[in-house]
């Protein structure tokens, strides 16, 4: 058992609490990677960066074909990496898409992206988690407000805030089809949540989260301070957001799917320890415990 002190306790106190962040947001400088200092300071201030076109159309086309293959496979396959919608058998997410040497794996290790990760996180990185969220037309359900870090800390043992997610749109992300929403500036606070985590919580939480959910009063406060943003864009657009940025997304009742890739980069210096919530760690396909640095392609 690691005796590391818990800087971010959550799901222990009887009342929710809005606390301070104790970690930097940007660990590198403009000299150490592709992002200019204006982007770095915007990221530091807002907790996210939006890219209108991270990937060119030709690459998006190939990734879309890969996405369609993944969807066809997941439809009736039985595999732990496949998460289905809360009240149907429709595929919601497929995890661990960075494994192997397929297109998604190559994308996750792409120099352009890993260079940004090493810059923001200040040194070598590895992939903590990856997934595709399909959010199909008509049936794709919401992701309620949450800080990823809260879950990764309590359930996976991620010690500090030194990770981020990159969400890449493989279909157009429109105002109407349940795009990612973020609360700018929310990454500078930490919402300690209420409730005791059940054993094997991930099996339910990846379909619909009920523990590690921020209270309404804290959300009211965060939105009063920072407002709301929903960066939209064509397929190939992307949003890079801090591990503690409060975010969520609505259900998709339009006919147009909102299918995105999520890749989470963590600093190798922030490797997982025993989960702070005291349960056994979640499985490898949700949270990698091997922090071997990425050797970017």
Strand, helix or coil at 195?
coil
DSSP β-ladder status, 180-182 and 82-84: unpaired
Residue 276 interacting partner from Fe ion, ligand 6CS, none (CB closer than 5 to 8 Å by kind): none
Among 143, 149, 265, 285, binds ligand 6CS (CB under 6 A): 143
Please report, as residue ranges, which positions from 135 to 154 form the binding site for Fe ion (by CB under 5 A): 148
Residue 240 CB, shortest distance to Fe ion, in Å, is: 13
For 176-198, b/e burial (b = at least 16 CB within 10 A) is: ebbbbbbbbbbbbbbbbbbeebe
Q: Which range in 45-53, 72-80, 140-148, 270-278 contacts ligand 6CS by CB under 6 A? A: 140-148
Q: How many residues bind ligand 6CS (CB under 6 A)?
A: 10
Q: Is 129 in the site for ligand 6CS (CB under 6 A)?
A: yes
Q: Is 242 in the site for Fe ion (CB under 5 A)?
A: no
Q: Is 205 in the site for ligand 6CS (CB under 6 A)?
A: yes
Contact status, residue 31 vs residue 216, Cβ threshold 8 Å:
no
Q: Which residues contact 284 (CB under 8 A, 6 or more apart)?
A: 96, 290
Q: Is 209 in the site for ligand 6CS (CB under 6 A)?
A: yes
Residue 209 interacting partner from ligand 6CS, Fe ion, none (CB closer than 5 to 8 Å by kind): ligand 6CS
Q: Which range in 25-33, 63-71, 75-83, 202-210 contacts ligand 6CS by CB under 6 A? A: 202-210
Residue 130 CB, shortest distance to ligand 6CS, in Å, is: 9
Judged by beta carbon, residue 40 or residue 191, the one nearer ligand 6CS is: 191
Residue 264 CB, shortest distance to ligand 6CS, in Å, is: 7
What's the Cα-to-Cα distance from 225 to each of 59, 134, 221, 228, 233, rounded to whole Å? 38, 31, 6, 10, 25
Q: Give the containing element (helix H, strand E) for 175.
A: none
Residue 148 CB, shortest distance to ligand 6CS, in Å, is: 4
219 alpha-carbon distance from chain centroid? 19
As a whole number of angstroms, the distance between CA 245 and CA 267 comes to 17
What's the Cα-to-Cα distance from 241 to each of 71, 264, 265, 289, rounded to whole Å? 26, 10, 11, 22
Residues recorded for the chain: 297
Residue 129 interacting partner from ligand 6CS, Fe ion, none (CB closer than 5 to 8 Å by kind): ligand 6CS
User: Would you tell me which residues interact with ligand 6CS (CB under 6 A)?
Assistant: 129, 131, 143, 146, 148, 151, 205-206, 209, 286
User: Would you tell me which residues interact with Fe ion (CB under 5 A)?
Assistant: 148
């Amino acid at each position: 058992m690691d005796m590391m002190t818990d800087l971010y306790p959550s799901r222990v106190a009887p009342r929710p609490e809005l606390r301070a962040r104790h970690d930097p947001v940007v660990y590198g400088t403009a000299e150490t990677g592709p992002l200019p200092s204006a982007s770095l300071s915007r990221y530091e201030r807002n907790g996210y960066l939006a890219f209108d076109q991270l990937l060119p159309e030709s690459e998006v086309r190939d990734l879309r074909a890969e996405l369609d293959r993944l969807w066809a496979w997941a439809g009736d396959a039985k595999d732990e990496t496949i998460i289905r919608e809360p009240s149907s058998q429709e595929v919601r997410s497929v995890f661990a898409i960075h494994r192997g040497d397929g297109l998604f794996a190559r994308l996750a290790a792409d120099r352009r992206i890993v260079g940004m990760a090493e810059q923001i996180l200040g040194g070598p990185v590895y992939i903590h988690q990856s997934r595709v969220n399909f959010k199909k037309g008509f049936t794709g359900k919401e992701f309620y407000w949450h800080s990823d870090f809260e879950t990764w800390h309590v359930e996976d043992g991620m010690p500090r805030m030194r990770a981020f997610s990159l969400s890449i749109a493989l279909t157009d992300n429109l105002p109407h089809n349940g795009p990612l929403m973020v609360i700018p500036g929310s990454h500078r606070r930490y919402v300690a949540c209420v409730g005791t985590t059940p054993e094997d919580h991930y099996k339910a939480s990846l379909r619909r989260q009920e523990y590690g959910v921020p209270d309404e009063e804290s959300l009211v406060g965060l939105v009063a301070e920072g407002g709301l943003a929903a960066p939209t864009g064509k397929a190939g657009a992307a949003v890079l957001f801090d591990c503690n940025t409060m975010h969520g997304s609505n259900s998709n009742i339009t006919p147009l799917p909102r299918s995105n890739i999520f890749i989470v980069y963590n600093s190798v210096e922030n490797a997982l320890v025993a989960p702070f919530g005291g349960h056994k760690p979640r499985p490898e396909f949700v949270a990698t415990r091997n922090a071997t640095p990425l050797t970017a392609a």
